[in-house]
Structures are given as C-alpha cells and as structure tokens.
Structure 1
C-alpha cells in the first residue's frame, strides 16, 4: 500500500472527526453561486515523505504528475507569473487580460538580491549554496513578500521551501531534504498535487547537485476540507489502495534548467478512478 495513501486517509479522517468548522464565520472564499465556502479544518498538520522509500503519489485516484511538474517548472525554472507559459489552466481564474497573476510565485523566485559572491535570484542562490556550502542552514526560497502582496492576484499558499543536507554513513553521497511550508490548503483539490510537485522539485534539485533526494516534510497551517467536498472525501478515503508507482528522472539531465516534463518517468501507476468536476472555491 502507498504510504502517501495511508497518510492522506489518516489526515482526512482526523479533520472530519476532530476538526473545527468555519460555518457562520466571515470567510473570504465563495462558491461559483456566491455562497460562502465554509470548511472543516485542523491547525498545524504535518506529513513526512521519504523519497528513498517511495514516491508519494496517491493511488486512491490519479495525480497528474507531469502537469504537477509543469507548474513547478513554471515557478522555479521559468520563474514566470504568466499563465501563457503554463500548459494547464489551473491559474486562469486569477489571471488578468494579459495572463499575469501579478507579483506572485515565479515573479518572486526570479527577483535578484545582492550577495558577496554577486547577484542571484532565489533559485540560482539555492543551487549555488548547495554546490558550494551544502551544510548551510540558510538555503531557502520565499514567495510571501509583504510589500508585494497587494499586487498578487492570490496570496501564495505554498510559500516557503527550506533545503537541508544530511549525510548517512552508508551513503556515498549526501542526502537533500526539504521542508515545504504552506499557510493554507484545500485538501481534496490540492494536497497530493502539492506533495508530488515538491517531491519532483526535490528530485530535480538533488540530481542537479549530485545528491540523494531524501525527506519532504510538509507543514500546513490551515488544512481544510470544504463543505461541498465532505461527501467526496468520505467516498475517496474508503477506496482500495495500491502500491506506490515508481517515479524517476532522466538520469542524463544534471542541469536544473534543462529538465522538461518529458524527463519524468512514471512506471506502474495503478490507481482508482479520477474524481471529476470538483467544485473550487475562489
């Protein structure tokens, strides 16, 4: 059985059984018909995925792994904030007439800062530090920039990534680990999507700096299930679970900026039926 399935089921059951509701409170999101979108939520949910054991894709339903990778490349490789550079349409609702989502995500990753060694944007600095000072405790990216929030069409949800290197005695290479901090997450629509995205990002960065991809620690401040998602989640978590797929990268690519979705290799992905027409609160 997939460990990602087991963690997802346990998280959903805990939210449904022990979470608190926002019903009747003043909330920002609404449904397409204008009705307030209330949630059942838990505070401070964490999950740990070890990529040395398996890739954390749900098998209860299919996660579109190449589309998830495409969005990660859009943010951290292309450093774009324009949906015309993205192959999916998940950001279309927040884009203006030019396709821009404002000063969010990729825009922030591409902003340069001055260091003693020169000028670097956020992703280039991560790669530089992992190659030159891998045991630094300062290797991270952050997209939650307060001075630019008013010019973002949506505040960043997954906003901070911290990289940390460890070395096990039995390994000939260091291990690269990651913490993903998320202020808010729609568990049904986005949980495994985000987990798989950042697992792929961890794999790409690790391969670029000749390290082993290790643990992904996911920290969610507000983990919630929307009121109109409850019945869908209850059905989903009762489904059969399968073994995790084998997910690897093209071993010939060692430049972070050379990866494409064609370099993601997915084998043996057995899963349940897709959940279609999930209502999305905006």
Structure 2
C-alpha cells in the first residue's frame, strides 16, 4: 500500500508544476491550485505527522490546546514557548510605532509587561474566541465545542456536528481571518469518529503540516470524550498554495521518501475537553527527515 504521505508530496508537486502564479495579500506571490483533498486513517493509532521533514508536533498540539481555551493573546502562547503567532502583532507594532524592535525583544516585553501584552499581543477575535465564545446578535455567547461534545455523546447520528470560525461580523477585527475554518464530524455505525476539515487558504509548506497535526489531535481528544474510536481525517483545501520563496525547498522535500507515520496516544483519562495538557500526548516512533527552514509570509 502506498504511503499516505505521498498524498501531500503529490500535492506539493502538483502546485509546483501546474499552480497558477498569483500576486497575493502579502506581496510575496504564490503558486496556487484550487480544490484539493487528502485522507488519513487514524484508526490504527498512526497520525499524519509528516516524515519528509521534521514537524514540531508539540508546537502544533500546544496551539490547538490554546485554541480550546478561547484565548486570543500571544502572551499565553509565549509562556508555553510557542512563537508561531508573533509575526502578526509584531508587524502591527512596528507599523504603528516605527520602532525597529527585534522579535526577541518584542516577545520579552509581551512576557514581562502585562499592559504591553494587552495592547500589543492581542490578535482580535481569532479561532478560540469563535470556537468557544461566538457572539450572537442578542449578545449571548455560544460555545461551539461544548455543543459538539454533547452531540457526539448524545446524538452521534446528527449531521449538524460541526463548528467554524468565519464570523463575518468580526473578520475585520482579526489579525488573520481563519484559514482552517470548518470542522465537521461524522460517527459510523461501528463507533468511529471521522472528521472533515475545510481550509479556505493553506500555506502548503508551513501551514498544512501543522493543520494535519492539530486536526488529528483534536479528533483524538473528541473521540476520548465521546467514548468513540478515531476514524478518518479528511482535509479539504480551497486556495492551496506555495509562496514563491518556498518553491526550492518544496522541490527538496518531494525528493525525500516518506518514513512510517508515528503513533499518538493520550496517556490518561482526561475528564473534559478543557483539561488536556501537552503532557497528556505521547508520540512514538517518529523518525523524520531533517527540518526544512522557510520564512512565514505576513
């Protein structure tokens, strides 16, 4: 059987060979295809942590756990040594003040000065806010994750088991509108939990590997909470692109042969969806190729 990671490597190659050259929001430029899909079977314990390059899976899991808190400030991420969201508030700070502060100094100020963090570390109503505290027109907040867990437990045949982050009324206040925006779940008659994730826009080199890990981790958590077995993770991409400054490293990556996917397990019986910690996740037999360095386009 062909290694499932080839779906991702084939997609890299498809974008390289047939992608449409486009000028994008960042000014870097992309090569893009529209409409893509990959499928991963989680039922045997294996998770899609890519092996053709090292993926820092703990960072991706910590980001997902942060989303579940409903947090929107990078101070909480930095306390957990996660720096993948710093670029956006740092760019805003530099633009507003004209100060040529380094990322290291900016992050230090966020960590040490709560007032500075409240002013400059805030990302706006991004993912976690929408997932856990979607604001209705009547002023009432809606916890989409809590509703999802209850549906999985009590009405697993429902076709309404989903959550999303594209809150039109609050898009303009977000540092970055949601890319991985709709998660829908399906439970088989045999008790397996499947997930379909629709991602409207995906940085294929840097973003997708993290999105695969985050979605798989959430699927394992939801399965445990609802006493189901993990099934299939289906990822669907809208605008699927490589930035122009990523093309050479993408070519390097597709020359590498995948190695067996690692396994991920949850090492304790966690009482609720709000109680998971990074120490609850055990990844075994991860033997990737070396990491590939590339810059984030902001």
Same fold (TM over 0.5): yes
Query: Any unmatched runs of 5+ in structure 2?
Result: 93-118
**Cα gap change, 1:119 to 1:240, in 2 (>3 Å):** closer
Offset from partner CA, 1:175-224 (integer Å, 9 cap, x none): 11111111100111111110111000000110111000111111110110
Count how many residue pairs are aligned between Structure 1 and Structure 2: 263
Q: RMSD value over aligned CA atoms? A: 1.9
Q: Measure the CA separation in 1 of the matches of 2:243 and 2:4.
A: 21
Q: Measure the CA separation in 2 of the matches of 1:98 and 1:39.
A: 29
Query: Any unmatched runs of 5+ in structure 1?
Result: 30-35, 169-173
Paired residues for 1:1-282 under 5 Å: 3-22=3-22, 25=23, 27-29=24-26, 36-53=27-44, 54-76=46-68, 78-86=69-77, 87=80, 88-95=82-89, 97-111=119-133, 120-168=142-190, 174-276=191-293, 278-282=294-298
**Cα gap change, 1:120 to 1:144, in 2 (>3 Å):** closer
Q: Measure the CA separation in 2 of the matches of 1:42 and 1:187.
A: 11
Q: Measure the CA separation in 2 of the matches of 1:112 and 1:225.
A: 31
- The structure with the largest helix share of the pair is 2
Q: Measure the CA separation in 2 of the matches of 1:162 and 1:252.
A: 24
Q: Measure the CA separation in 1 of the matches of 2:55 and 2:188.
A: 29
**Cα gap change, 1:196 to 1:2, in 2 (>3 Å):** farther
**Cα gap change, 1:136 to 1:5, in 2 (>3 Å):** same
Q: Measure the CA separation in 2 of the matches of 1:266 and 1:235.
A: 26
Q: Is the 8 A contact 2:34 2:240 kept in 1?
A: yes
TM-score (norm 1): 0.88
Q: Is the 8 A contact 2:133 2:141 kept in 1?
A: no
Q: Measure the CA separation in 2 of the matches of 1:3 and 1:42.
A: 23
1:110 partner SS: helix
